[in-house]
């Protein structure tokens, strides 16, 4: 079993937290697009967690 799922999940999580930091420092008018991206990334992270749990359990 390879750990590629774990590394992909780790990279996506780091991107998410970097995006959150960016969101805290930018103006609200500029952040509308960023919020949409964060929602998409967040849903992808949740799906990745489920896949990761299934891989670990098998």
**pLDDT digit string, tens, across residues 6-31:** 788 888 888 888 777 776 666 655 66
Give the single-character DSSP code of 28. G
pLDDT in tens, 39-50: 877 888 888 888
Domain count, the chain: 1
Residues of the domain holding 27? 4-57
Give the single-character DSSP code of 1. -
Task: Go through the chain and tell me how many residues it has.
Answer: 58
pLDDT band at 2 (very low <50, low <70, confident <90, very high): low
pLDDT for 58: 65
pLDDT for 56: 73
Cα–Cα distances in angstroms (integers) from residue 51 to residues 5, 9, 24, 28, 58, in the given order: 8, 10, 30, 34, 11
Buried b (16+ CB within 10 A) or exposed e, 8-32: ebeeeeeeeeebeeeeeeeeeeebe
């Amino acid at each position: 079993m390879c750990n590629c799922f774990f590394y992909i999940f780790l990279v996506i999580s780091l991107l998410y937290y970097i995006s959150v930091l960016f969101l805290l420092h930018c103006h609200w008018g500029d952040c509308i697009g960023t919020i949409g991206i964060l929602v998409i990334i967040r849903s992808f992270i949740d799906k990745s967690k489920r896949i990761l749990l299934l891989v670990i359990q098998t």
